[in-house]
Chain A
């Protein structure tokens, strides 16, 4: 890239344009690419541009992958604010690490990004927790029509609790394979484990969940 021909974009104004570019990928209405008929560049092409300092390519790639990464982080961390911070940090690592990306077709960018997100989440969970508002139970809805909803919410809370009590790796395996619908091979790559190790984690997690949710089983008769 010739710096004299294409000057460095300013943060403020250029960021708004970049976000508009990222929206075209994440599904929201776009004003920056009329018609939207242009083929979207692949992740590898965008990473090559990012390695040259292309901020628009970064915004495009970030907008494409941030939603899933945020969902994964929020499932692991349990709150939105921490998840957003983690994903932002992961995106910055994309910016600094893009020059090291080798587009050989063996590794998918999303798998790499999710690995970074998972590792950052694990690091964050090991820090001393701040007792925020998330720990305060919500007041129950007094309307009678809400009884079924409350029962369902209560069950969901018990399941969330049982998931949270799982050992870290088991919880990560369940999150990736059940909630993020990743294959065991993908999860193995993200967690830097073998496929059989991931399968073992999943089996142990299911056994533990079944044991912890046995009360729910008896109450609801579902399991």
Chain B
């Protein structure tokens, strides 16, 4: 209905218009009002249609308009003013821009948080995690070096150490790759 040019309207248009907006031309959309009023003057059927809708409008207008006294308005505004402090004040609600470092925790914060979690929230889990970490560290530190030539290794140790998988270099792989270590005594 809104995409059309409303230079002329016919009875069907008037019917559609009054079915939505009623019989009062003042309520009709401005883009089609003038053409519709012109059509009313020329078409008796359209005119009758509008009169019928205006009767329903007249019934609807019997509903009394709510009376809004000045005292009521004052009371509502005063009530809102009295409650302003209870809600967040707009000036103080504006969030101050945060620097980047305020978003990033310092190393001390990380350690403090970890310690507090370990000691307060879950001591058992803390001990378990600590023991696991220590075990992993020991395993990594005692793992045979893959860069040393076999001859040096042999010279430094009393036996021969062969690693089945030693071609990984990154830490996750080192931690999670199963090593098959065989020591052959001379």
- A183 with B29, Cβ < 8 A, contacts A15-B82, A216-B59 known: yes
Could you say which of A123-131, A133-141, A155-163 contacts chain B?
A155-163
The interface on chain A, measured as residues whose beta carbon lies within 8 A of the other chain's beta carbons, has a size of 64
Among candidates A95, A155, A195, A196, residue contacting B90 with C-beta atoms closer than 8 Å = A95
| Distance to closest chain A CB from B56 (angstroms) | 5
Contact call B73/A70, Cβ cutoff below 8 A: yes
B107 at the interface (CB under 8 A from A): no
Task: State the total of A-B contacts with C-beta under 8 angstroms.
Answer: 151
Residue of B nearest to A181 (CB): B27
Contact call B81/A59, Cβ cutoff below 8 A: yes
Contact call B68/A67, Cβ cutoff below 8 A: yes
Contact call B83/A50, Cβ cutoff below 8 A: no
Among A18, A160, A178, which residue has the most Cβ atoms of chain B within 10 A?
A: A178
| Distance to closest chain A CB from B86 (angstroms) | 8
The interface on chain B, measured as residues whose beta carbon lies within 8 A of the other chain's beta carbons, has a size of 45
Report the Cα distance A209→B76, complex, angstroms: 33
- A199 with B66, Cβ < 8 A, contacts A70-B73, A95-B87 known: no
Report the Cα distance A193→B81, complex, angstroms: 32
Q: In the assembled complex, which residues on chain A have CB atoms less than 8 Å from the CB atom of B58?
A: 222
* B44-69 interface with A by 8 A CB criterion: 52-53, 55-60, 62-66, 68
Q: In the assembled complex, which residues on chain A have CB atoms less than 8 Å from the CB atom of B94?
A: 99
Could you say which of A20-28, A37-45, A103-111 contacts chain B?
A20-28
B109 at the interface (CB under 8 A from A): no
B74 at the interface (CB under 8 A from A): yes
* B72-108 interface with A by 8 A CB criterion: 72-85, 87-94
Report the Cα distance A75→B65, complex, angstroms: 8
In addition to A59-B77, A71-B68, A96-B87, 16 A-B residue pairs with Cβ atoms within 8 Å of each other are A11-B84, A19-B81, A50-B90, A52-B90, A53-B91, A55-B81, A58-B84, A75-B66, A95-B87, A177-B21, A184-B20, A184-B29, A195-B2, A203-B19, A206-B56, A213-B56
* Residues on B facing A (Cβ under 8 Å): 1-2, 19-22, 27, 29, 52-53, 55-60, 62-66, 68, 70, 72-85, 87-94
20 contacts between A and B (CB under 8 A): A11-B85, A19-B74, A22-B73, A28-B70, A53-B92, A59-B81, A63-B77, A70-B66, A70-B68, A71-B68, A75-B66, A84-B76, A91-B77, A155-B62, A174-B60, A177-B27, A196-B2, A206-B22, A206-B53, A222-B55
